[in-house]
Amino acid sequence: MGKSIVILGGGVIGLSCAFELQSRGHRVTLLEPASCGGQASGAAAGMLAPYSENLEGPDDFFRLCLDSLRLYPQWQQTIKQISKQTFEYTPSGSLYLAYHSADLLALEGRLLWQRQFGSSGSVMTGDELFRLEPLLSRDVLAALYTPEESHVYAPHYVSALEQACRLIGVNIQDRLEQIEIVEWKHEVLVRSAGRHYFNGDYLVVCSGAWAQELAQTFDMNIPVYPIRGQICAYESSKHPVKHMVFSSQGYLVGKENGTLVCGASEDVAGFDTSVTAKGIDRLKRWNHRVFPFLNDLEPFHRWAGLRPSTQDGFPLIGPISKSSRVTIAVGHYRNGILLSPVTAMLVADGIDGIQAATSIEAFSPERFERSLRI
Ligand code: FAD
Ligand code: GLY
Q: Ligand 2 within 6 A of 143 CB?
A: no
Give residue 90's pLDDT: 98
Find the helix or strand (DSSP H, E) in which 16 lies.
helix 12-23
Question: Are the C-beta atoms of 313 and 61 separated by less than 8 Å?
Answer: yes
Read off the pLDDT of residues 295-340 as tens digits, 9 standing for 90 and up.
Answer: 999 999 999 999 999 999 999 999 999 999 999 999 999 999 999 9
Residues (pLDDT < 70) of the chain are 370-374
Neighbour tally for 128: CB within 10 Å: 13
Neighbour tally for 179: CB within 10 Å: 19
Which residue of 5, 6, 7, 12 sits with most ligand 1 atoms within 8 Å of its CB, as the best mutation to test the pocket?
Answer: 12
Give residue 294's pLDDT: 96
Give residue 373's pLDDT: 53
Residues with CB under 6 A from ligand 1: 8-14, 31-34, 38-41, 43-47, 179, 206-210, 213, 229, 231, 263-264, 305, 307-308, 330, 332-338
Across 64-85, b (16+ Cβ under 10 Å) vs e yields bbbbbbebbeebbeebbebbeb
Q: Which atom of ligand 1 is nearest to the CA of 304?
A: 34
Q: Does domain 224-310 have CATH number 2.40.160.50?
A: no
| Nearest-ligand number for the alpha carbon of 174 | 1
Give residue 371's pLDDT: 60
Give the CATH superfamily of 4-49+155-223+312-373: FAD/NAD(P)-binding domain (3.50.50.60)
Distance in Å, CA 159 to ligand 1 centroid: 14
SS3 153: coil
0.75 exceeded by pTM: yes
Which residue of 306, 335, 339 sits with most ligand 2 atoms within 8 Å of its CB, as the best mutation to test the pocket?
Answer: 335
Give residue 129's pLDDT: 98
Cα gap 144→299, rounded to integer Å: 27
Closest residue by CA, ligand 1 atom 34: 229
Cα gap 111→126, rounded to integer Å: 18
Distance in Å, CA 12 to ligand 1 centroid: 7
Q: Would you list the domain boundaries of the chain?
A: 4-49+155-223+312-373, 95-140, 224-310
Strands 4-8 and 202-205: parallel
Closest residue by CA, ligand 1 atom 24: 335
Matching fold, domains 4-49+155-223+312-373 and 224-310: no
Q: E strands within 195-315?
A: 196-200, 202-205, 224-235, 244-247, 250-254, 259-263, 301-310
| Alpha-carbon torsion (187, 10, 29, 175), positive or negative | positive
Read off the pLDDT of residues 124-163 as tens digits, 9 standing for 90 and up.
Answer: 999 999 999 999 999 999 999 999 999 999 999 999 999 9
SS3 205: strand
